[in-house]
Amino acid sequence: MNNHLLKLEQELAIARTRITSPAAVAPGGEAVAAAKLLLEAAREDHNREGLQRTPERFAKAFVHLCSGYQKTARDVVGEGVFAAEGKGLVAVREVEFYSLCEHHMLPFWGKASVAYYPNELILGLSKIPRIIDLHARRLQVQERLTESIAADIVDLINPRAIVIQVEAQHLCMMMRGVEKQGSSTTTETVRNVAGISQEELQRLYASLK
């Protein structure tokens, strides 16, 4: 490795340690400097016309894409928890999301579906997509994204049973590595299903199809 590349590696390592949380990143700060370093690593001139504002645009986009670090589920749900007026099934299907893989910081995207039987409380329907986006707008792996959505809903309303399914495509598998364009990944988690009947469990799964 020549001295120029070694210097860039050292600078990128410093930038990574400084950007410990997207909540601490502001346009014009470390994210701008990191973008300039990445352009230099690609042997680009960040001062040429087409790239002059790219570091600032990158920083603004990065803050938005990682804005989930700045809030909790209770923040995004607010007053959207209500008393349940029945015990019937609730399902919200195919909520689109976009996230960044924490291993390569490349996008992955797909749809998440949630089905639950209420106990004493329900969530406002729009709050489920908000919880999904909260966790999608963090550096993620799909498995943790799925589990985190379930954990927050259980914490907020303690449903009698809940199933969450997530299907996504990952650019880290499509544009690099194995380069498999038609592949998708499905993850699932279930909570509290031991307390419901087999018929209720079947309806729970059927509602996600």
Catalytic residue among 11, 40, 104, 167: 104
Please tell me which residue in 44, 167, 172, 200 is annotated as part of the active site.
172
Catalytic residue flag (residue 52): no
CA of 110: how far to CAs of 3, 152, 189, in Å? 42, 20, 16
Instruction: Look up residue 62 and give its DSSP letter.
Output: H
| Annotated catalytic residue within 96, 103, 120, 143 | 103
Rg of the chain on CA atoms, in Å: 21
- Could you say which of 30, 66, 101, 135 is catalytic? 101
Is 66 among the catalytic positions?
no
Contacts of 183 (CB under 8 A, 6+ apart): 169, 173, 174
Q: Is 85 a catalytic residue?
A: no
Tokens of 75: 């923040």
Among residues 162, 165, 68, the alpha carbon closest in space to that of 122 is found at 162
Catalytic residue selected from 102, 120, 143, 202: 102
What strands, in cross-sheet order, belong to the sheet with 107-117? 139-140, 90-101, 107-117, 161-170, 185-191
Backbone dihedral angles phi then psi of residue 90, each to the nearest 5 degrees: -125, 130
Please give the DSSP secondary-structure letter assigned to residue 154. Answer: H
Burial zone of 202 (CB within 10 Å; 0-12 exposed, 13-18 middle, 19+ buried): exposed
Is residue 101 flagged as an active site residue? Answer: yes
Nearest alpha carbon to residue 165 among 182, 185, 180: 185
Q: Exactly one of 30, 46, 165, 170 is catalytic; which is it? A: 170
Catalytic residues: 101-104, 142, 170, 172
